[in-house]
Structure 1
């Protein structure tokens, strides 16, 4: 990785732009370092016999009103001009970074206040902000440094907020939250490393802007004061005699342009190498029909109890409710499958249970208990350790589930460091052991590799290994076999089954493939339009679906006995949009058994057999019919 990045730098420096920008930067820095050492005396000598002279062999750009050599003074002023500009840029970058990160760690009202203040500041022209802060901090180089730094901060803060928001929704950040990583550690270990490169590029470009701004303040008489001098002050002095000696003003102006060009071009070169990874109205929820609570009573081995779970998101005219009145329980060692088409609310249910739905999303429930602890009312600090050690989340996309800037072993070890108090070395040893437990070959070597060096199946295994770093009582696997070949799928499902058998761990397997779920899980929750429409046992002959949608899903699955000459079975139509939910049963428009009652009244989820619930007005007709499926040319939806 380091060798490849070094080769990229060499290649960039060989380009005309890279070579030219590097040469300019080195020239400016060399003059800044050597200027006062080599030419301080020549720049300070007062010669009353050479006052205001034009350019000559002795004085390349002439002399000032005291007979001092202007060329040497421009060279000596390089250090002060560059140093002050870099200090101002550093202040702006650090201040902007802090302001940009604060919303992620502050309580929401204060976060909104900081964000609003940054947005207001960004709306003002930069020069007005500089002058405003210059009045506050006073005349002089110290005041000018602070003024430019704080004027630069809002733009950098806005950039930091935007980049942070683009990373904060990634799966590996959610996985870190599930692991119990605190907000500050999450920010510095998982978010900032992934936005550091574009921030570095903009910091380099900001240095050139600071140089121009500082020279401008000194030119106006607000910046550097006598007896010190920088390019802006020399430019101001040169203008007094511009009609007699134009070179006196031209020399510092050229120096400002060259230095500013050097920083900006170098920023473009850096960008070419590393690239740029690159309050809501108070609304009222739509009244929902309360779902009938799971008929299975709680027992001592109940791991998760959910009653009337609802997930809602605000919009301008009301609330969108993609998860509506979901109720179920999960017991120790039990495997439950959650199936349904895309948009049915499967993943949102898993995220809500894991407390990963962020504002402005709203999660409500009559009851949401994990391991006997109420998830919605327990303070985050108290809940963090429980979720970090007893709940594991395996996300759909293994590539985005890991932080790409950190090695696999260190990401797994973080769980033990945070919640089990292990040292860095001991935690890493445990991480290697967990990788070995999930059948990662050469686990010691693999633990030192980055996520992109793992195959898709190995990344999913490593995700399960991360969940096993603690002692999970529940694993929520959200489409863990998507985009994997059938051999790897079978290995992962077998690994989950083995983990369940060895540790008595409960598993919620979220999938769109009802055939996989029926072969892996004891119970199936079928979701449609944000509701559980059927909860049934899946083992052997006891699997007798009573809802037309469940039977339709089963009919669209393929096996070795499927007639290859026949058209594929599909479910006609599309599921309704969450914000356009029809009256009555949401499946009525696609169901051939639908009646006027189905279109007018939404059925409750009721018990029709032991441990079997269904939300349908005609479950008996569905049981005796293959209704709900239309045979047509095309693929199964």
Structure 2
């Protein structure tokens, strides 16, 4: 409300508000006060010019044009608002259809919307007016349906932006249906720009309706609106110009009031308006669906997650971009698995694929993708949603975007319990408060009624973990859970994850850039580069037992207490590989000091080394050359080179 009140603090906003309120007030009181004077016929004073008795003159029956203009305000505004409501409702249905229907049907809706938006609005209104027939009802339907494509296009854009946020992904992980996500999480976050554009749309509808009535397609006698009065007055414009000027001025003032009010609110709230919307990007071509390789079900009761030959691809300008290429790993009950690598190595995409959060046009294929023995590759079912909602907890990277900013924290945590566990509102809220207490949030009863912005970063991250604990998770996937948190809070979050893991024998997949954190928290580490696992080793061997040059370079790039402060920090030369342009052979070869022609032509397989570890390198374990490394206490460090 504070932001809306700030509209009145600007000259344009104050003027527009006064005009809009004045028009609406006139629509209410004018028919009550002046209908009799507006309908009074005086055959002795036909087509009279402006005078003290008749400020705008009279029409061909001697009726006062000024009072008729005032009385016509109600019908003009009512019809414009009715058309706006139709445009908004139809636009919402069009705009939310791609989110609800999925990619294939959604693309057809988007294509149809784009075609409709390409036609001028007035042309569409005239077309629909002919279809629905002459009269006020037909004109309302015509203008409403003509405005629906533009409003639907705006809704599609806004919904697509919110649908990619983390709190929507969290709701999907919890198994919440698309309709509930739309109503509870998406629409509340796009309501302000939609309201602003609906206000502007009312002004446009007012002008369009006056235009149809002026053309004889709108309001018919004996009823009258401003457009009808303008049509009647234009016939006597040479005798009495005020007969056309009065309704024309009313249309101008009212339309200007609605438009200026909407524009003023838009500037204060910082939202965009319908006018001048850029064209939506063309949908990329879909990838060929990959048939999953059939595998036998794993019968081990201690195995929580079993992934075999995971592939994730997205459309690109030059063909599919393979973000994850043949990743295989398992996670046992109570085990902590770390995944490290530079940005773009495929860590987060792997986690999203495991959590069933990769949406079209992305394609996921795997020989096996089992959670607690359930195949996640099959089509989405109620049982699968329940499994993901209760047995898998996802902790996203940015705690600020992990929650819906328009809903209270307790309600967001309780939603999954109500949806999957059948708890009523009171029991679900009690469970939410208990879980907030379990993740060490002080005063959980009070905090449950606060909004996300009232929580600190560390509290939001703990609340995100608490959301995952609303069920009985067997696996927690934490994607950079300590990003943007200070060191003290980072340690608190990591300690919390460790205590949850120890208390309930929960498996943990921790994704991080920080190899030191992973080495301290995890039992085993997967090192990813260019969408593939290049090394799988125990966390205790990271510092001194890594065999792949890339793993050793990652460790060397992290300073420790023994790092010489007088020497430049170690860096990995070159740039990470572009997933859309992976070179032949070993992807790390252009940056590797051990690379040979064999490395550049043939990709090394990820094979066990006989000690329970896996490594993909033709020169695994070979010492780095003296020109490229400074070996301090057995830790290989690449010498500093300039990154080009």
The verdict on a shared fold, with TM-score over 0.5 as the criterion, is yes
> What corresponds to 2:227 in structure 1?
232
User: Offset of 1:300 from its aligned partner?
Assistant: 1.6
Provide closer, same or farther for how the CA distance between residues 94 and 539 of structure 1 changes in structure 2, counting only shifts above 3 A.
same
Alignment deviations for residues 423-446 of structure 1 (CA, whole Å, 9 cap, x no partner): 112111111111110011111111
User: Offset of 1:316 from its aligned partner?
Assistant: 3.4
Alignment deviations for residues 466-521 of structure 1 (CA, whole Å, 9 cap, x no partner): 10011111000001111211111111111001000111110000011111111110
> What corresponds to 1:421 in structure 2?
422
Cα pair 1:569 1:630 within 8 Å, conserved: yes
Deviates more, 1:604-613 or 1:300-309: 604-613
Residues 97-496 of structure 1 aligned to structure 2 (within 5 Å): 97-276=92-271, 280-281=284-285, 299-496=300-497
User: Offset of 1:275 from its aligned partner?
Assistant: 3.0
> What corresponds to 1:58 in structure 2?
53
Cα pair 1:593 1:628 within 8 Å, conserved: no
Cα pair 2:69 2:250 within 8 Å, conserved: yes
- Decide which of 62, 66, 79 is 1:71's aligned counterpart: 66
User: Offset of 1:633 from its aligned partner?
Assistant: 7.3
- Decide which of 628, 631, 635 is 2:639's aligned counterpart: 631
Alignment deviations for residues 272-294 of structure 1 (CA, whole Å, 9 cap, x no partner): 443317954465699xxx9xx9x
> What corresponds to 1:560 in structure 2?
561
Alignment deviations for residues 92-139 of structure 1 (CA, whole Å, 9 cap, x no partner): 011101110011111432211111111100000011100011111111
User: Offset of 1:26 from its aligned partner?
Assistant: 2.0
Q: Residue 562 of structure 1 aligns to a residue in which SS?
A: coil
Q: Distance in 1 between matches of 2:542 and 2:268?
A: 61
Residues 439-588 of structure 1 aligned to structure 2 (within 5 Å): 439-539=440-540, 544-588=545-589
* TM-score, normalization by structure 1: 0.94
Q: Distance in 1 between matches of 2:502 and 2:152?
A: 50
User: Offset of 1:541 from its aligned partner?
Assistant: 9.3
Q: Distance in 1 between matches of 2:422 and 2:5?
A: 44
Q: Distance in 1 between matches of 2:33 and 2:132?
A: 34
Q: Distance in 2 between matches of 1:275 and 1:542?
A: 49
Q: Which runs of 5+ in 1 are unaligned?
A: none
> What corresponds to 1:92 in structure 2?
87
Provide closer, same or farther for how the CA distance between residues 285 and 406 of structure 1 changes in structure 2, counting only shifts above 3 A.
closer
Q: Distance in 2 between matches of 1:579 and 1:275?
A: 36
Cα pair 1:571 1:628 within 8 Å, conserved: no
Q: Distance in 2 between matches of 1:14 and 1:608?
A: 72
Q: Distance in 2 between matches of 1:552 and 1:560?
A: 18
Does structure 1 residue 600 correspond to structure 2 residue 606? no
Q: Residue 321 of structure 1 aligns to a residue in which SS?
A: strand
Q: Distance in 2 between matches of 1:532 and 1:541?
A: 15
Q: Distance in 1 between matches of 2:175 and 2:484?
A: 28
* TM-score, normalization by structure 2: 0.93
Q: Residue 379 of structure 1 aligns to a residue in which SS?
A: coil
User: Offset of 1:251 from its aligned partner?
Assistant: 0.5
Q: Distance in 2 between matches of 1:387 and 1:166?
A: 24
Q: Residue 431 of structure 1 aligns to a residue in which SS?
A: helix
Deviates more, 1:328-337 or 1:404-413: 404-413
Alignment deviations for residues 142-200 of structure 1 (CA, whole Å, 9 cap, x no partner): 00000000001000000000011111111111111111111001111111111110000
Alignment deviations for residues 29-69 of structure 1 (CA, whole Å, 9 cap, x no partner): 12111111111111111111111111112111111111111
Deviates more, 1:38-47 or 1:535-544: 535-544
Q: Residue 398 of structure 1 aligns to a residue in which SS?
A: coil
